[in-house]
Structure 1
């Protein structure tokens, strides 16, 4: 099982980004969380199949229709910290 942490910048708060992220994670069988950060970014932590995480990363670079993603930082992450299911914090 692989895990990753993403920090997504741009117009990603108030545009249903976290809800869309949860939908994509569920669709790909990933677990983890998405949360807004005080600096305007969204943090996303996921764990699951490496190919699913790669597909998920591609979606994060686009986001939902109302979002405008400017950058996505990606780092490996300890999968134990990803938790169970996928939640919006």
Structure 2
């Protein structure tokens, strides 16, 4: 039986804009079987939306938190219904 796909949104707060956070996140995503995007928000946060198996999405978000922890003050995550609208992981503008 194939693993089901989940979607998670993570909102990163802290010094997360203007430091290469989106590019580093896209680079980290290349190591995982996920799709979605990373995007700067007008309020200074960075939004990550990731779809994949629960294991892959969890590992990806944990890797982002670990590798970029010096920029992150807080992370809020929410599980959403997968849309299956993504073909790859990208930087959104």
Same fold (TM over 0.5): yes
Normalised by the length of structure 1, the TM-score is: 0.87
Structure 1 counterpart of 2:76: 73
| Structure 1 residue runs of 4 or more that deviate by more than 6 Å after TM superposition | none
Deviation string, structure 1 residues 65-89 (Cα, Å, up to 9, x no partner): 8x51001100012221652211101
Structure 2 counterpart of 1:64: 68
- Gap runs ≥5 in structure 1: none
CA RMSD between the two structures: 1.7
Normalised by the length of structure 2, the TM-score is: 0.83
Whole-Å Cα distance in 2 between the matches of residues 12 and 87 of structure 1? 17
Q: CA deviation at 1:23?
A: 1.4
Structure 2 counterpart of 1:26: 30
Count of paired positions: 88
User: By percentage of residues, which structure has more helix?
Assistant: 1
